[in-house]
Every structure is written in C-alpha cells, then in structure tokens.
C-alpha cells in the first residue's frame, strides 16, 4: 500500500511541477525566467539535503531574485495547499500571495522533528521533479527555436 501511495504522490508532484514549469515558460517577465529557474534548481535538492529545507527556503527568500521567488512560491503552494500529505497545520494561517513562502518558513521552523522530516522529504521530491521537468522543457524549447537562447 505504501508503494501505491508513494506512486500517487509522485504523480501529483509531476503534474504540479509540469503546470509550474509551463507557467514559468510562458511568464512575460523576465522573459528568460525558465532558464534562470532551471539553473537555480540544479543545486537545490543537494542544498536541501545538506543544509535542510528551512535553510534552503530561507536562502531562496533572501536572494530576492525572480527565479528564487518563483521557486519559493511553488514550494509554498505545493506544501501548504496542494500536497496530499498535508504535513503542516495551516489552520488559522490565512495567508495568500506573497506571504505564503514566509508562512511556510514560519511553519517549518516551528515544526517538530517528525513533521519537519516529512515536509523536507515532500519538498525534496518536488524539487527533483521541478529540476527534471524544467531542464526538459527548456531544452525542448531551445531546440524548437533552432538552438537560440530565446526560450519563448
């Protein structure tokens, strides 16, 4: 049964990641957002493993770049709203939009060890899917544009 639940979670992470990556590809500003997100995602899973999810999320928020913000927003949307695991208690938080990543950080830092580990595992799975799909979509877009740097 655990394998079936794990496969369902992975499929949902893939679907969410696909939706996010195509949203980044179509983003009007900055035009090269997908390329920058793809580059930033390259080291993120290792960063999460090495320093922990709370430090990796805080780093994304501190960087303040559009690609870092896009990734933090995606992680917050997944972990607070979309993940079927619902590891974090979001009752009463009532946050939306730009405050969501900050609320995620607050909840993760305050989480007990078991909850933190579950959130970190869920976040790592999502980061891996985002990394893979952003690389594939970026490469395919680049190939369709004759190898030029323009993605859209």
Residue 145: the pLDDT is: 73
Q: Could you give the maximum distance between any two Cα atoms of the chain, in Å? A: 50
CATH for 2-144, options being 3.30.70.1400, 3.30.300.30, 1.10.10.10, 1.10.520.30: 1.10.520.30
Delimit the domains of the chain by residue range: 2-144
- As a whole number, mean pLDDT of residues 122-146 equals 90
Alpha-carbon distance 135 to 18, whole Å?
11
> Which residues have C-beta within 8 Å of that of residue 2, sequence separation ≥ 6?
none
**Residues 82-108: pLDDT tens digits?**
999 999 988 766 655 557 999 999 999
* Cβ proximity of 110 and 34 under 8 Å: no
């Amino acid at each position: 049964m655990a394998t079936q639940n794990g496969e369902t979670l992975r499929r949902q992470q893939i679907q969410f990641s696909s939706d996010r990556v195509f949203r980044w590809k179509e983003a009007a500003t900055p035009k090269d957002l997908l390329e920058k997100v793809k580059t930033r995602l390259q080291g993120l899973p290792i960063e999460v493993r090495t320093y922990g999810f709370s430090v990796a999320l805080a780093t994304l928020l501190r960087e303040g770049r559009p690609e870092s913000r896009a990734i933090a927003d995606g992680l917050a949307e997944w972990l607070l709203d979309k993940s079927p695991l619902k590891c974090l208690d979001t009752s009463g938080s009532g946050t939306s939009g730009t405050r969501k990543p900050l609320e995620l950080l607050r909840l993760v830092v305050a989480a007990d060890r078991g909850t933190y580990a579950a959130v970190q595992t869920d976040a790592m799975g999502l980061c891996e899917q985002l990394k893979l799909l952003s690389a594939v979509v970026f490469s395919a877009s680049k190939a369709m544009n004759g190898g030029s740097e323009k993605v859209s």
